[in-house]
Chains A and B, each alone.
Chain A
Amino acid sequence: MKKLQSENIHFWQGTEACAEAALKAGCRFFAGYPITPASEIAEHLARRLPQFGGIAIQMEDEIASIGAVVGASWAGFKAMTATSGPGFDLMQETIGWAFMTETPCVIVDVQRLGPSTGQATKCGQGDVMQSRWGTHGDYAAIVLAPNSVQEMFELTIKAFNHAEKYRTPVILLADEIIAHMREKITVSSTKGIRIIDRRKPKSCDKAFFGLEEIPSMPAVGEGFNVAVTGSTHDAYGIRFTADTQVHRQLVERLNNKIQNHVADLSDVETYNIDNCEVGIVSYGCTSRATYETVEAAENKKLKVGYARLRTIWPFPEKIVRRLAETAEKIIVPEMNLKQIFYEVERASRGKADVISLNKIGGGELITPEELLKKIMERTKN
């Protein structure tokens, strides 16, 4: 036991790991409104942020919370909010504003079971498409999905790094099970963790909204003359609400700065994807059934491979296509009604049968037995 008394090994709840990772990533501002199952993140940061000279504030609702977060980001802070489905709904308008104004920030959505108030204390994965298409207009989203307490830590740091590097809002799409479970976690020393900070402008810089793929970003109070608007603007932040070219240039650049970097953003755990008869594509809590299922299938002399998505958006098409090229059939287990299924089908281009396995209600996980049964059914189709 003595060896393990090292400060680096903990038994943390997912929410706790997320909050501690935010601190490690340099987050010094949190604004939120309590909601099951995300409240523990706010509680933890309310205790911890002041110890780091940071600010944690409870706002009057989720609309104000995300507003405070984008404001803090323009004041130079790394900033975060945490919510669940109903609160994530309310934040969508400002998430669009953050995308359009290239405001780095992290939004944690701990998914619960909707629609609406649904089963508020139970787990679901129903916000997958919302995390991609929640706000209006053409935009690109970066969405990460952890499947362990360890990854609640690692992907929170990654979310901040992506936000700062690409100057865009990033969504950590967690779920009730991963957020509320407690698990062993190893935290490497600060030296071992790579932290990215947004690029600051030189004193002569003026174009904070263009000319480069990812422009530098000044903070309020640094002496730069900067207008920040959600309306279409040119490289200097000047509004152009009728000019076709300015709009095309801006919105295409905002999309391309993410879509052109899918290779950098893709983060997928794979196993046997080039040598399997059946494939599994999974993410979040549902993916925890995969490991035992693969073992059980291998005992029955069936080769199973999987792609487990840590990055959901942009969708890692190439890896899924590779899996489709070898597997006869791909199973997509989800605690929703086919949200990633169609993406897998599209990426597979008819090269494999894509079969859904869906379960909603009561927060019940898809079990390894259920997944194995679906795999073994393969000869019947």
Chain B
Amino acid sequence: MKTEVRISGLGGQGVVSAGQILGRAAVYDGKNAVQTQSYGAEARGSAAKSEVIISDNKIGFPAVRKCDVLVAMSQEALDKYVKDLRKNGVLIVDSTYVKKIPKTKICKKIPATEEAEKIFKAKMYANMLILGALTKIIGISEKAVERAIEDTLAKKVVNTNKKACRRGRDLPQ
């Protein structure tokens, strides 16, 4: 089985680190994974995306053309990439920023940035709330995700990120 995921938003929202953790977790779960990324010349505020392909087999072409899961953390990202979502694909949006959503798609709305600010007092944990929901949907084990967080992020932020990820995972499906 092969799952293609695109996580998109703006620079600074953590779409690259979310993709990195997702790919690493998939590998810890015994799968193959490739993660690529692209972002503008500016560090913050420009369009950013991270793509992850997860498969039981060897992965050839490393870029995502049609995705099974699209995460949009900004309206601009949704508008740009929604055409690449497969028919039965899952759309996950940060509903703090994404308001106009096409009706036909399977969509999970998470007010990630609002929640992150409310619970963790920082917007930067929004990506972990999304990652929690995302990994549950595509069947990556919690254990693998938490280990991937430990191996990817700086020690001092690991616990809060794990908490945010767990919260995302526990959101009603």
Residues of A near any B CB (own CB < 8 A): 1, 3-5, 9-11, 121, 177, 180-184, 285, 288-292, 363, 365, 367-369
Contact = CB atoms under 8 A, between A and B. Distances in A.
Contacts of B32: 184
B60 A11 contact: no
B33 interface: yes
B141 interface: yes
Interface residues of B, number: 27
B102 interface: no
B63 interface: yes
Contact of B27 (A181, A184, A288): A184
Nearest to A369: B65
A177 to B, nearest CB: 7
B23 A11 contact: yes
Q: Which of A5, A180, A183, A369 lies at the interface centre, i.e. has the most chain B CB atoms within 10 A of its CB?
A: A183
A177 B61 contact: no
Interface stretch (B34-42, B83-91, B154-162): B34-42
A121 B38 CA distance: 9
Contact of B35 (A10, A183, A365, A368): A183
A180 B33 contact: no
Contacts of A4: 27-30
Contacts of A1: 28-30, 141, 143-144
Given A4-B28, A11-B27, A289-B60, A183 B33 contact: yes
B36 A180 contact: yes
A288 B36 CA distance: 13
B93 to A, nearest CB: 25
B35 A182 contact: yes
B24 interface: yes
B36 A367 contact: no
A285 B61 CA distance: 9
Interface in B58-111: 58-63, 65
Nearest to B35: A182
Contacts of B147: 5
B33 A288 contact: no
Contacts of B148: 11
Contact of A11 (B24, B36, B41): B24
A9 B141 contact: no
Given A1-B28, A180-B37, 19 more contacts: A1-B30, A1-B143, A3-B30, A4-B30, A9-B27, A11-B24, A11-B33, A177-B36, A181-B35, A181-B36, A181-B62, A182-B33, A184-B34, A288-B60, A288-B62, A289-B60, A291-B58, A291-B60, A369-B65
